[in-house]
Chains A and B, each alone.
Chain A
């Protein structure tokens, strides 16, 4: 009995303690709320003062007519008529993908915020949502589809798919806010196709497209622009990389003969980089076609059903039948590809992502192996086309990445001005090069990264730790901000062995050499495709013919059968059946999709 009474008393004591605690907490909270309020008031008055002083400063600047590219240029000096914000604090929810190194807290990110505040004349209070890039990419459409909690500003990697969210009023129509843009129009003007490039047929614009700054007009290409060869073998045997397809065939033949007689310790002549790239991706440019939907200079066509593509398959089938190609070309993944490249499985790789040669050479298992690059051999169609060549000056990328703004953002004028400022020379320089004296110096009029970065074991990572984004290891500001090609070349493009007829064997950077070696003729028409206006439904139809779409996937599967001889590439009936099979994959009529595309193209 006594025990029970004691238990009850103990329980009552505990309850009492909890109540006192809760009340106490409440009081603390209230007092802290009061303190917060007081602090806020102080802050607000301070901000108002700061804002007023900023305004006065801006007015003074405005009178002095500051150039928009001057570091001191502000929204006001640029003539933007931004509304007043209560308290002078711009609150934003921003959702961005995170890359290898987070930009959070980096020196450059802090500097970006300072510059933005100075430009807009307000204090920024940004709530960041950071998501790893792969997850972000997978879920970004789900966020829009959910229709609630759309961030004020967010990165998109699927710009062409978000038009329907603009049309239904979820996203801000940027074309209504052109008066708040000063820098983005420069990119619009200079891009192939002009301002129409970024706009829909009705003139609407629902996202800022990712830009690229190419001050020295280097027309380097992304990848699949060169074949990789084992230079050590070529030198030893007195061979050189092929400049024509006939030379390439002869080289393969010679190499196979040396493998067969035991002179060369190789399993095959040709290997693939990874199963993710069809082996023919390295050859399509040589045959002036492409492995999915592309613009051929006069109209939109689906590459895999063109005669050029068939010619290419005949050629590769010949290489396969002769035993030159590693049979695992369609199944070995990237890691296995690297193992094959570094353990003497093959000596030529036609499908190369930029920079792979440098990483193969650093992963080699002996002192002798040296992979190098030579521009694609020319075929019957002339100079081989390269893929992803850069435009001169300022341009907008064709990769559909960019930034959208929610239609519900409280101050759309500020949001637009903020993103627009990311396209200014000032911000592009800050995010790519950093701060003079700290991350780069100017030597003979050229910017050069400081030794601490350039002499680091991995310059790209070291630069990323500062928050520099030229290497893409880190993306500062609100991604995507235009990349400065020169900064990128310094940080992310390692010198690799190259060969051409005039220089012989030498060292060069992929992006520069793919510009120099191909020349103007190598710029493919699909890299300069005209503007096409499509509705959301038409865009969906188009995606079935684009890279990763059902037609491209089916073509890849059937083309493999032609290459390995399961289907006879010389049999017209088999070819016709292949075309019919590909055309049957689309939800709507295949031919009418192409017709619509061509009809909706602004030439």
Chain B
């Protein structure tokens, strides 16, 4: 009873904040929760004229899942998705943190701001342009091969097959996202109590010791939450980028659940089937987020999301 009272009191005290949050919350309800009933078409023979409720149930209800798991490429598609997702997370996640820490260590304000602004630019470049650049740079006469040639290595067609796909895919993701992704960590770093640095200076701590004992612990909660959220996205590969990097030499090596869903849903118009496969991904992602949060809670309950 008392708790309830406190809740309303807190709410009344924070009314401006609540009012500000109203629109985003409404947006999430309208665009994220309400459309969820559309998931039903994963189990139905959806006919537009009959609507979602009126369309008949599939017989058997899990027919779309039977079709997917029976698909000869199913295992490879899941494996490709996991491989690309996990490696992307492993390599792209720490980069903005490292960049933010390095930026934080810079003394000159103007230089720091210039570097920061320049680092945001790639984020705004269209993925089509990025892929076109990668295709050109990876060709035998392209920029990447010029670098190889400079170091005496032979020129190779990096767009051929899947050997160079992951370095190019992940490398470009880092290039595009490192600056933009560092914003949240920089804001976390700006909240670090300056007196901690003064105390560290008095204690004679060097730069690395300050990073280790002040900076890291300060951004740990933010990092943990970001990691939990990123783990949930591990199966959602950037299908547009993959589609643009695919060619007849690497088609099956680069087929992921996201590209498969795109082909089935948008290209071939098999909406029920595509929804079913995507639902499978969503369930796995939910389990991953839940699992990651559970582990975090066990290690340090203060850093977990719930």
Contact = CB atoms under 8 A, between A and B. Distances in A.
Interface of A: 138, 141-142, 144-147, 158, 161, 164-165, 168-170, 275, 278, 327-328, 330-333, 335-336, 540, 543, 548, 553-554, 556-557, 559-560, 584-585, 587
A331 B268 contact: no
B209 interface: no
B68 to A, nearest CB: 9
B248 A548 contact: no
A332 B159 CA distance: 8
A430 B108 CA distance: 69
A331 B251 contact: no
Given A275-B247, A557-B248, A165 B71 contact: no
Contact of B251 (A161, A170, A553): A553
16 contacts: A138-B266, A144-B48, A145-B271, A146-B48, A147-B48, A165-B48, A168-B47, A168-B49, A328-B140, A330-B249, A331-B135, A331-B249, A554-B252, A559-B248, A560-B249, A585-B73
Contacts of B266: 138, 141-142
Contacts of B135: 331, 333, 336
B248 to A, nearest CB: 4
B157 interface: yes
B48 A168 contact: yes
Contacts of A560: 248-249
A330 B248 contact: yes
Nearest to B266: A138
B160 A557 contact: no
B132 A330 contact: no
A331 B247 contact: yes
A145 B72 contact: no
B146 to A, nearest CB: 15
B32 interface: no
B48 to A, nearest CB: 3
B49 A170 contact: yes
Nearest to B156: A327
Contact of A330 (B47, B70, B136, B160): B160
B51 interface: yes
B4 interface: no
Interface string B223-261: 000000000000000000000000111011000000000
Contacts of B157: 327-328, 331
B171 interface: no
B269 interface: yes
B247 A169 contact: no
Q: Give the interface size bracket for B toward A.
A: 20 to 34
B222 interface: no
Interface in B153-204: 157, 159-160
Given A164-B47, A328-B160, 17 more contacts: A141-B266, A142-B266, A145-B269, A161-B269, A165-B49, A170-B48, A327-B140, A327-B157, A328-B159, A335-B132, A540-B268, A540-B270, A548-B267, A560-B248, A560-B249, A585-B72, A587-B71
B194 to A, nearest CB: 39
Interface in B19-46: 46
Nearest to A339: B141
B139 A328 contact: yes
B70 to A, nearest CB: 8
Contacts of B160: 327-328, 330-331
B50 interface: yes
B300 interface: no
Contacts of A158: 269
Interface in B120-166: 132, 135-136, 139-140, 157, 159-160
B34 to A, nearest CB: 15
B117 interface: no
A141 B269 contact: yes
A161 B264 CA distance: 13
Contacts of A585: 72-73
Contacts of B104: none
A293 to B, nearest CB: 15
A517 B47 CA distance: 49
Contact of B48 (A145, A278, A330, A548): A145
Contacts of B270: 540
A331 B47 CA distance: 40
B269 A557 contact: no
B248 A275 contact: yes
Nearest to A407: B49
B269 to A, nearest CB: 4
Contacts of A557: 248-249, 251-252
A144 B48 CA distance: 7
A162 to B, nearest CB: 9
Contact of B136 (A164, A336, A584): A336
A416 B293 CA distance: 60
Contacts of B72: 584-585
Contacts of A331: 135, 139, 157, 159-160, 247, 249
Nearest to A143: B48
A170 B252 CA distance: 37
Contact of B248 (A141, A142, A278): A278
B251 A147 contact: no
A560 B162 CA distance: 14
A147 B49 contact: yes
Contacts of B132: 333, 335
Given A331-B159, A553-B251, A543 B268 contact: yes
B123 to A, nearest CB: 23
Contacts of A548: 267
A275 B132 CA distance: 13
A138 B265 CA distance: 11
A557 B139 CA distance: 19
Contacts of B271: 145
A553 B248 CA distance: 7
Contacts of B269: 141, 145, 158, 161
Which are the 9 A-B pairs with shortest beta-carbon distances?
A147-B48, A331-B159, A168-B49, A584-B72, A556-B248, A141-B269, A557-B251, A168-B47, A170-B49
A292 B159 CA distance: 25
A327 B155 CA distance: 12
A448 B71 CA distance: 57
A332 B139 CA distance: 7
Nearest to A147: B48
A583 to B, nearest CB: 10
Interface in B257-292: 266-271
A93 to B, nearest CB: 17
A28 B279 CA distance: 53
Contacts of A168: 47-50
B139 A147 contact: no
Contacts of B46: 145
Contacts of B247: 275, 330-331
Nearest to A328: B157
Nearest to B67: A587
A548 B48 CA distance: 25
Contacts of A275: 247-248
B55 to A, nearest CB: 9
A358 B269 CA distance: 37
A244 B72 CA distance: 41
A158 B266 CA distance: 12
B248 A169 contact: no
A144 B271 CA distance: 12
A75 B287 CA distance: 64
A158 B135 CA distance: 30
A556 B251 contact: yes
A129 to B, nearest CB: 18
